[in-house]
Structure 1
Amino acid sequence: MIVKSQPDKAGLRGKRFVVTGGSRGLGQEVVQLLLGEGAFVAACARRTDSLRGHAAETGQLLTGSLDVREAGRLEGFVEQAGEAFGGLDGVVACVGGAQGRGLEEAAPEDWSATWELNVGHSVRLAAAAAPHLRAAGGGSVVFIASVSGWKPGPQAQYGAAKAALIHLAASLARELGPDGIRVNAVSPGSMLIPGKRWDRMRREDPAAFAAFAEEFPGGALVAPREVAQVVAFLLSAHATGVSGTNIPVDRAQNAPTPDGY
């Protein structure tokens, strides 16, 4: 078992978390922020190369290389984290994405794959973590949804899955609330992540990127750090009164994509 420092009553020091999709983008930002606050983090992703250095340096980080859609793998990782840390105080479902194109082009398998990647894995993460959070006297579950969950844009299967996560947070907050477990959704706007879609557009088609930036009143896309800070707040004791809600972090973005309707 990992030896923990004394927990900070209101903050994150010494607290114990599981983060899915923690090796890049928003997930990596969440992991780095939590580690910087002195928390213990178990992060899983299909590839965890980017996290290994920090794990070796601090001993605060447990990593697992897995696909969250594989039967039993995510549940096993949650159990491993709970055992290594002596319990859990919260979980963050960062894995997400979409498969397929428009309604007439997308196969039924595209819809089911998108649903499982976003909603299915989040449900299984919450279910696996619930006994650990209950044993700790309560905790926090955070689902990463999206502004696409209520601002229409292509593709419909992605937006529908993110809308389901927002509803899931509200429903599970009522179900798990008696055990002191808070459940919330965070809906990022379009984030400027190195190497991802909007960063490529910025470099390859500056005019199109400038036009898309006009969807934001301030003219700037969302930074992953801005979203991670809200996630960290929801995981902390500073947010004990916040449960069952969806918090947009989108800089008042209008259309969620340049192809918005």
Structure 2
Amino acid sequence: MALAGRKVLVTGGTRGLGYATARRLAQEGCDLALCARDPASVNKAADELRTCYGATVHAASLDVRDETALNAFVQRSVEVLGRADALVACAGGAVGGGFFDATARDWEETYRLNVGHSAQALRSAAPHLARTRGSAVLVASVSGWKPAPPAQYAAAKAAQIHLAASLARELGPHGIRVNAVSPGSTLVPGKGWDRLRREEPEAYQAFQREFPMGELMAPEDVAAVIAFLLSDQARAVNGANIPVDGGQNAPSAYGY
């Protein structure tokens, strides 16, 4: 994809989909800056990428909801890597439970974790991306455009999709492309769907019927699309939301 030599910042880039994305970009010859909350996973991911792919990797442990820490990560990443060609906002998740259990604080924190961090990371990186005519990918979710609980997560992911479309128009004149990807339910070892497969095999088998080809996504499936969107092959793709869900129907194992 002619990504060799690109300098890419990835939030939430040390486990699951984020690490699969970092690994794919390293395979393509990119140098990387990664951040996540857990210092051990940050260091492990950075060491593996350096050892396996020879990538230059700047790694930092931080909570992406901390605006000061996130800004510092972006600026330090540019100092270490020399420039910024791309940003992947992959950190995210849900805080709180169902509608009657989730508090106002749960809604606020879910928004900050998904939408707020994406906007702030891109705001901080934008002057650097403008110099390289770079691009950004915001990792949303199938839950952002197909209904699924918890509502605070679905609403935040829908906002991320709209954020990408809005910023594509606003940042386009600066030479920056912004797109979203919406992964479907992704089978990550040790995570929720993997636990369902092991602990409730009948429920998992029933859930597989929500996919026309009978399989959940692999993190590498999504990482490949992200790599494409960051490449010059996607120079005409801007403001889009790309579903990577295998045609998934309900985003939940328990239906709509």
CA RMSD, Structure 1 to Structure 2 (Å): 1.1
| TM-score normalised per structure 1 | 0.94
Greater shift, 68-77 or 175-184, is seen at: 68-77
AA in 1 matched with 2:164: A
CA drift of 1:204 comes to 1.2
Greater shift, 50-59 or 222-231, is seen at: 50-59
CA drift of 1:176 comes to 0.3
The one of 22, 41, 46 equivalent to 2:37 is 46
1:219-243 CA distances to partner (integer Å, 9 max, x unpaired)? 1000110000000001111100000
Establish whether residue 105 from structure 1 lines up as the match of residue 101 from structure 2. yes
Q: Give the aligned partner of residue 131 of structure 1.
A: 127
Contact 2:184 2:243 in 1 (8 A): yes
State, as a whole percentage, how many aligned pairs show the same letter. 55
AA in 2 matched with 1:116: R
AA in 1 matched with 2:48: H
Partner Cα distance (1:162, 1:133) in 2: 24
Q: Give the aligned partner of residue 5 of structure 1.
A: none
Look up the SS of the partner of 2:67 in the other structure. Answer: coil
Establish whether residue 79 from structure 1 lines up as the match of residue 75 from structure 2. yes
Establish whether residue 32 from structure 1 lines up as the match of residue 23 from structure 2. yes
Establish whether residue 246 from structure 1 lines up as the match of residue 241 from structure 2. yes
Question: Where in structure 1 are there 5+ consecutive unaligned residues?
Answer: 1-9
Partner Cα distance (1:246, 1:52) in 2: 29
Contact 2:26 2:55 in 1 (8 A): no
Establish whether residue 226 from structure 1 lines up as the match of residue 226 from structure 2. no
Look up the SS of the partner of 1:72 in the other structure. Answer: helix
Question: Where in structure 2 are there 5+ consecutive unaligned residues?
Answer: none
Matches within 5 A, 1:1-261: 11-47=2-38, 48-57=42-51, 58-136=54-132, 138-261=133-256
Look up the SS of the partner of 2:123 in the other structure. Answer: helix
| TM-score normalised per structure 2 | 0.95
Name whichever structure is richer in helix by fraction. Answer: 2
Partner Cα distance (2:86, 2:46) in 1: 22
Number of aligned pairs? 251
Partner Cα distance (2:250, 2:96) in 1: 20
CA drift of 1:62 comes to 1.1
Partner Cα distance (1:37, 1:60) in 2: 13
1:51-108 CA distances to partner (integer Å, 9 max, x unpaired)? 1322553251111111111131111111011111111100000011001122221110
